[in-house]
């Protein structure tokens, strides 16, 4: 599959590397035609305010929202999750795409100096924990109905999924552990299979 990485600002190269390592074609997405050509999209960590301004300046913002609403599979990390959210509790004026029913607290785990790593245990990844990197990480403030929590840290959701969207507070792209990227790709395959089955049943 052609897996796009939203290449406006942030950890772009790291997501491109991860997608390539798991055997799919990584595509640097910097314009609308490229966005419209990919089968799925990774939205990297970075600076969410800068990303929003650049996405609007380059004319990508509205098309991005339309594609996600239409079912484009998305894996968003850190700032990417902020962009998808319903809103930001401590920055209510910040514009978001409002496609994932969670609200966010920016820098909810502290500033750069408070960055940390933690082991997350997830049943679907087996017995080996995932070493999660939190850098100026957003904290999930509330989770809407229908949003599945895939992982918690100290009782707070840090990895969630709703339909074709998966979002993390942390930075899996900064590790050499590609299991979450693989899990995302496998989820896309399941969605595609379900869609084919529905068509056959009609």
Calculate the alpha carbon distances from 193 to 89, 186, 200 in Å.
37, 11, 11
Q: Catalytic: which of 15, 24, 171, 181?
A: 171
* Residue for token pair 């594609």: 67
15 catalytically annotated: no
Residue 173 annotated in active site: yes
Side-chain-side CA neighbours of residue 52 (13 Å):
15
Active site residue 145: no
Q: Which of 24, 78, 105, 162 is catalytic?
A: 78
For residue 198, count other CB atoms closer than 10 A to its CB.
9
**Lookup result for tokens 């969207």:** 165
Quick one: DSSP state of residue 94?
-
Q: In what order do the strands lie in the sheet with 156-162?
A: 25-29, 2-6, 40-43, 74-77, 165-168, 156-162, 148-153
Active-site residue set: 78, 171, 173
């Amino acid at each position: 599959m052609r897996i796009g990485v939203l290449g406006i600002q942030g950890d772009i190269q790291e997501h491109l590397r991860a997608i390539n390592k798991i055997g799919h074609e990584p595509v640097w997405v910097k314009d609308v035609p490229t966005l419209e050509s990919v089968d799925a999209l990774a939205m990297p960590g970075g600076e969410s305010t800068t990303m929003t301004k650049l996405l609007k300046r380059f004319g990508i913002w509205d098309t991005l929202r339309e594609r996600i609403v239409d079912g484009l599979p998305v894996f968003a990390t850190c700032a990417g999750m902020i962009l998808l959210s319903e809103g930001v509790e401590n920055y209510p004026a910040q514009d978001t795409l409002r496609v994932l029913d969670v609200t966010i607290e920016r820098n909810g785990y502290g500033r750069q100096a408070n960055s940390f790593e933690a082991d997350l245990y997830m049943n679907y990844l087996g017995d080996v924990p995932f070493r999660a990197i939190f850098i100026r990480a957003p904290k999930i403030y509330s989770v809407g109905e229908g949003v599945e929590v895939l992982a918690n840290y100290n009782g707070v959701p840090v990895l969630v999924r709703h339909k074709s969207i998966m979002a993390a507070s942390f930075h899996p792209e900064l590790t050499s552990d590609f299991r979450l990227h693989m899990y995302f790709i496998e989820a896309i395959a399941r969605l595609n299979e379900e869609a084919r089955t529905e068509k056959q049943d009609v």
